[in-house]
Amino acid sequence: MAKSQINTKSRDYQRDKEAFLRELKQFNESKNIPYKVPYVNGIDVDLYLFYSLVQQRGGLSKVNHTDAWDTFLRPLRLPHPCINGSTLLRKIYSTYLEKFERAKGPPGRDDDMDLDDDPRGRRGGFPRVSYSGAYITGKASGEQLRTGSRAIAGPSERLALSLLSPMPNEQDFAVNVCTVLAADYSNRLPLNATPHILDFLLAHAGVYNHASLRDTIGRSYREARGRYPDEFWKLRAGGGGPMELIDENKFTAPGLEQPELMVQALAAHNNLTDRLTLQDDDYQDVVDKIVEQEELLEDWMTDPTDEDQLFAPPLPGGAACVYTQRVLQVASIARSLSFHEENLPLLAANNTLIRFLLLCSNCWVGTLRQSGLDTLGNVCAELVIKDPATCLLSRHILSTVQACLVSEDRARVLAALEMLNKLSQNEANDDVLLRALDPKV
């Protein structure tokens, strides 16, 4: 039969089909192979049509090489497209028809061909091609051919998918695996292959790089544990600091900036609008409120009050709170990753990580503050500070450094000096540091 011209309703087809099934049944009985017509979704699989289609494509080995199994779903009247359709047909063929084809030989082979071209003459049998799930293995040659159209997830991809899973047990397991890999020098966390693993980990700590992660990971926490992860920061368990760092919409695009002229024009427009719409008393109240808010946002290193030190943050479970422990885990992972030099460029380029470290640097819960400062000190060697008038993230980094320098805590002062030392080693930061830092510094 010519390719794509199999008429399944013709009398010749029915006659050939019956003869083929009788021959196949006799062959299976001679090999002690149980014979049973397979069916999928209540539909019997036409083995004769299936065998004919495969032979038109050059036999099992060529179909496996091109991974053309999906093209047989429609002629066999099976559901299409189907995610596992290729795997299903490959399994059916290997179970019912592979040995029959090996006995008959591949299509287009003459019996009197030169034995040098016949693998059966060299190896004692036709090479069997079997499917193991990820590779097609030719036992005669020992070669492995990776299937092309169906991508098989590797360990790093499976780890990333586990982080996206809505099941709490799988989330905990994935975070624990990342903790072990980040601290292991021999089997490290594959940031080069799958850099989005870091974004997924940060989403578990309540810092998102996109609103879609809030809808997936954040919602899974809400449904399974009762709260969103970012409520750890919204409840001010970490003390003072700009809450705008939690808003991923301000940091959606990497290196998102506003031109200085646009910032000035927007400020002038808002100022003029306020003067035209508000009375003098109201205007003064609004100005005072804005000044208070700006002071609050710029107050990066606010020390905990006596009340905060006496009472636990308003999170259930205290030190055993799953949200607190998750943030501590992610901070530990980021700190471990920052000690590997090959990870520093990837960490410094991730704005979501820098936001997370700035939040940790302002937090007095557990070891978050010291862990955040240590990690920032390691990453600063690869950071490029931009104009703080146009770059929101750079403004917060410099505010953090200045607040640490004037702190009474010697550890924070040393951390700030280390960050300044690392930042000044990059020539691109010289002009910005000289213009942005306080002259006293």
Residues sharing a CB contact under 8 Å with residue 215, sequence separation 6 or more, in sequence order? none
Q: Is the Cα torsion angle 325, 326, 331, 335 positive or negative in sign?
A: positive
- Quick one: pLDDT at residue 353? 92
Q: What is the pLDDT along the chain (441 residues), one digit of tens a residue?
A: 444 457 677 778 888 888 888 888 888 888 777 777 887 877 888 888 888 899 988 888 888 888 888 888 888 888 777 767 788 888 888 888 888 888 877 555 544 444 344 444 444 444 444 444 443 343 444 444 444 444 445 677 888 888 888 888 999 999 999 999 888 777 678 787 788 899 999 999 989 888 888 888 888 888 888 888 888 887 765 444 557 788 777 776 544 444 444 444 444 444 545 555 545 555 455 445 444 444 443 444 455 566 655 665 555 555 667 888 898 999 999 999 998 888 888 999 899 999 999 888 877 777 888 899 999 999 998 888 888 878 888 888 888 888 888 888 888 889 889 988 888 888 888 888 888 776 666
Q: Residue 252 has what pLDDT?
A: 63
Which pLDDT score, from 0 to 100, does residue 227 have? 82
Peptide bond into 81 cis (omega under 30): yes
Q: Is 432 helix (H, G, I), strand (E, B) or coil?
A: helix
Structure tokens at 388: 């703080």
Q: Tell me if the pTM is above 0.85.
A: no
Q: Are strands 43-44 and 143-146 parallel, antiparallel or unpaired?
A: unpaired
pLDDT number for residue 285: 57
Ordered by where they begin, the domains of the chain are: 19-108+128-146 (1.10.150.60), 155-436 (no CATH)
| Collapsed DSSP state (helix, strand, coil) of residue 144 | strand
Query: How confident is the model at residue 117, as a pLDDT?
Result: 43
What pLDDT is recorded for position 298? 41
pLDDT for 149 equals 43
Q: Which of 215, 202, 205, 281 is nearest to 237 (CA)?
A: 205
What's residue 12's pLDDT? 82
- The whole-angstrom separation of Cα 107 and Cα 151 is 29
Q: What values do phi and psi take at 387, rounded to 5? A: -65, 120
Q: Which residue has the tokens 């008393």?
A: 281
Q: How far apart are CA 384 and CA 374, in angstroms?
A: 18
**pLDDT of 139:** 41
pLDDT of residue 201: 92
Phi, psi of 299 (to 5 degrees): -80, 85
